[in-house]
């Protein structure tokens, strides 16, 4: 039987979309993700400046103010699961498109307002509270972004390419972090230290406004996914069926799937945020690197991350999600201490340090590339947005959002500069065990209805 432009594949019975619509879905799903991680990267890269402006009455910054800055950062991450639940329920009932439109509106508005926010010197004690409130709004919208974006990408993906299509979600994470690092590095080069601290740090946040408007335009033109339309038709044809939730699986099975998904992602979350975002502050406060040196290391790590993601996603379409993701988790365990030892060695060649951070980013990419498709394959269409969004949000809340706070506080209290390596190795070891429970042929199966 010849396959139509839009229809059902003969082998799997899965609803498919024509290539142009699939590509449009990639762009519309990716753009909001880019903005989200651009902002989170910018906040991490300028953490020391934000600490001085908002969490230090005297404007002097320091380790204590930096801890407060990361505490605000972590709080926003803990609102991600709530955002995943709210947006997920909305997206599973009303559609992926309206939920993603709302998510990008909230993210753009909150990020732009951070660039306009008065500092402690101007507003007093209200300034850090307002900043934290905007971070909470960002956390809610970010919690709703991942589940919708991955649902759109994987549900529009052609047969046999779900890993590659889902990998674009992670790839735009890398692009967002690189974009944030690039803007930060450019400003650090063009502006004096005084200008950067006085007003230059605001510019990256204000740049979110035109990016957000472009994302809104793309998402307003987005169609609903074939899987969602098919599920809605089935629900209308069977009025007794529950509008949300798997029809036969008990609630505890869904909870177990969310917990297992979070466990499978914890290494990606912890290693990714440690190597790709927390690294600049760690290098500055612990190893006395300059702002430019720290940003250069972060850019290199993110380049390695970006370079590995799409090949890892495509490879997982051939050999399976389990093989590629377990390899990434195990490599992270093995490389975390040698990497940190190399960065701590003042006699080590600069080129060797550069290659080491590139390798660290690439290892994270091995987990991040197949990760979105792996999650999408765990949940049926009617709860996919909610389920995969919650798993991702919970993992990020605990293991990404707390990374900067835990590492900075632990190094400050213990004086042990190997804390980041302990953190990465422990979380990736647990994640490897959870990933080992994946079925080897999940990549060949159709998405669950």
pLDDT tens for residues 272-297?
A: 988 887 776 777 777 777 777 777 88
- Residue 38 CA to residue 43 CA, distance in Å, equals 9
Q: Is residue 3 part of a domain?
A: no
Mean pLDDT of 371-388: 92
pLDDT digits (tens, 9 = 90+) for 95-129: 999 999 999 999 999 999 999 999 888 888 888 88
Q: pLDDT at position 19, please?
A: 64
- Looking up tokens 């919208």 gives 141
Residue 4, both tokens: 């139509």
pLDDT for residue 6 is more than 50: no
Q: Which two tokens stand for residue 356?
A: 């080491």
Distance CA 80, CA 37 (A): 14
> pLDDT grade, residue 62 (50/70/90)?
low
The predicted structure's pLDDT at residue 204: 93
Residue 8: DSSP 8-state:
E
- Asked if the structure places residue 239 within a domain, the reply is no
With a CB cutoff of 8 Å and minimum separation 6, the contacts of 358 are: 300, 301, 303, 304
As a whole number of angstroms, the distance between CA 145 and CA 142 comes to: 5
Q: Which residue's entry shows tokens 């947006």?
A: 87
Q: What's the confidence (pLDDT) of residue 58?
A: 62
Q: According to the model, what pLDDT value does residue 13 have? A: 40
Name the 3-class secondary structure at 16: strand
CA dist 164 → 171, 177, 393 (Å) = 10, 20, 22
pLDDT digits (tens, 9 = 90+) for 293-313: 777 887 888 899 999 999 999
Q: Is residue 240 part of a domain?
A: no
Mean pLDDT of the chain: 84
User: Which domain range does residue 362 map to?
Assistant: 17-232+249-444
238 within domain boundaries: no
Phi and psi at residue 378, to the nearest 5°: -85, -20
User: Could you tell me which of 45, 296, 52, 39 has the C-alpha nearest to residue 194?
Assistant: 52
- Asked if the model's pLDDT at residue 237 lies above 80, the reply is no
Q: Domain count of the chain?
A: 1
Going by C-alpha positions, the residue among 67, 70, 69, 99 that lies closest to residue 84 is 99
Q: What percent of the chain has pLDDT over 70?
A: 90
Copy the structure tokens of residue 60. Answer: 């002097």
Q: How many residues does the chain have?
A: 449
- Which tens digit of pLDDT belongs to each residue from 335-371? 999 988 888 888 888 888 889 889 999 999 999 999 9
Cα–Cα nearest to 170, from 297, 279, 328, 18: 328
The per-residue pLDDT for 76 is 78
Q: Which residue has the tokens 């509106």?
A: 105
Whether 66 maps to a domain, the answer reads yes
The percent helix, strand, coil of the chain (3-state, each to 5) is 80, 0, 20
Q: Binning pLDDT at 50, 70 and 90, where does residue 153 land?
A: very high
pLDDT-derived band at 69, boundaries 50, 70, 90: confident
Residue 59 domain flag: yes
Pairwise pLDDT comparison (235 vs 434), residue with the higher score: 434
Residue 416 has what DSSP assignment? -
pLDDT at 14 (0 to 100): 46
pTM (2 d.p.): 0.81
Ranking 11-15, 24-28, 236-240, 427-431 by mean pLDDT, the lowest is: 11-15
Three-class DSSP labels, 85-133: HHHHHHHHHHCHHHHHHHHHHHHHHHHHHHHHCCCHHHHCCHHHHHHHH
Residue 37's pLDDT is what?
A: 83
Structure token pair of residue 271: 């290693």
Alpha-carbon gap, residue 432 to 95, rounded angstroms: 34
CATH number where 255 lies: 1.20.1250.20
Is 321 a domain residue? Answer: yes
Output the pLDDT for position 74. 72
Q: Measured between alpha carbons, how far is 445 from 14 in angstroms, rounded to an integer? A: 10
- For residue 6, tell me if it sits in a domain: no
Contact 106, 115 (CB under 8 A): no
- For the packed helices 126-156 and 226-237, what is the interaxial angle rounded to 10 degrees? 80
What is the spatial distance between Cα 114 and Cα 14, in angstroms, rounded to a whole number? 44
| Across 28-33, average pLDDT | 87
């Amino acid at each position: 039987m010849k396959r139509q432009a839009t229809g059902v594949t003969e082998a799997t019975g899965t609803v498919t979309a024509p290539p142009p619509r699939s590509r449009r879905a990639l762009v519309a799903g990716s753009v909001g993700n880019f903005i989200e991680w651009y902002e989170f990267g910018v906040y991490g890269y300028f953490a020391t400046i934000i600490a001085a402006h908002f969490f230090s009455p005297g404007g002097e910054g320091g380790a204590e103010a930096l801890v407060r800055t990361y505490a605000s950062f972590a709080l926003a991450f803990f609102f991600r699961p709530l955002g995943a639940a709210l947006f997920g329920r909305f997206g599973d009932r009303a559609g992926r498109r309206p939920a993603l439109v709302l998510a990008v509106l909230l993210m753009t508005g909150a990020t732009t307002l951070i660039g306009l926010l008065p500092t402690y010197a101007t507003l007093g004690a209200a300034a850090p509270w307002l900043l934290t409130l905007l971070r909470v709004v960002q956390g809610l919208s970010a919690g709703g972004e991942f589940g919708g974006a991955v649902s759109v990408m994987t549900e529009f993906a052609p047969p046999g390419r779900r890993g590659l299509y889902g990998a674009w979600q992670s790839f735009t994470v890398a692009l967002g972090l690189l974009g944030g690092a690039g803007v930060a590095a450019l400003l650090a080069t063009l502006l004096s230290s005084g200008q950067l601290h006085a007003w230059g740090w605001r510019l990256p946040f204000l740049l979110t406004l035109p990016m957000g408007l472009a994302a809104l335009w793309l998402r307003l033109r987005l169609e609903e996914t074939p899987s969602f339309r098919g599920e809605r038709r089935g629900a209308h044809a069977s009025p007794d069926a529950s509008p949300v939730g798997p029809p036969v699986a008990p609630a505890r099975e869904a909870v177990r799937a969310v917990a297992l998904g979070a466990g499978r992602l914890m290494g990606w979350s912890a290693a990714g945020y440690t190597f790709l975002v927390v690294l600049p502050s760690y290098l500055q406060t612990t190893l006395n690197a300059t702002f430019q040196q720290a940003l250069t290391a972060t850019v290199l790590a993110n380049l390695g991350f970006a370079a590995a993601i799409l090949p890892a996603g495509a490879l997982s379409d051939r050999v399976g999600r389990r093989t590629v993701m377990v390899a990434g988790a195990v490599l992270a365990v093995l490389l975390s201490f040698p990497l940190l030892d190399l960065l701590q060695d003042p006699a080590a060649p600069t080129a060797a340090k550069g290659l080491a951070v590139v390798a660290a980013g690439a290892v994270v990419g091995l987990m991040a590339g197949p990760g979105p498709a792996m999650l999408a394959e765990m949940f049926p269409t009617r709860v996919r947005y909610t389920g995969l969004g919650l798993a991702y949000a919970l993992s990020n809340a605990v293991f990404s959002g707390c990374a900067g706070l835990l590492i900075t506080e632990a190094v400050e209290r213990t004086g042990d500069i190997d804390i980041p390596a302990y953190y990465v190795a422990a979380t990736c070891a647990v994640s490897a065990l959870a990933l080992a429970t994946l079925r080897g042929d999940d990549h060949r199966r159709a998405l669950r209805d």
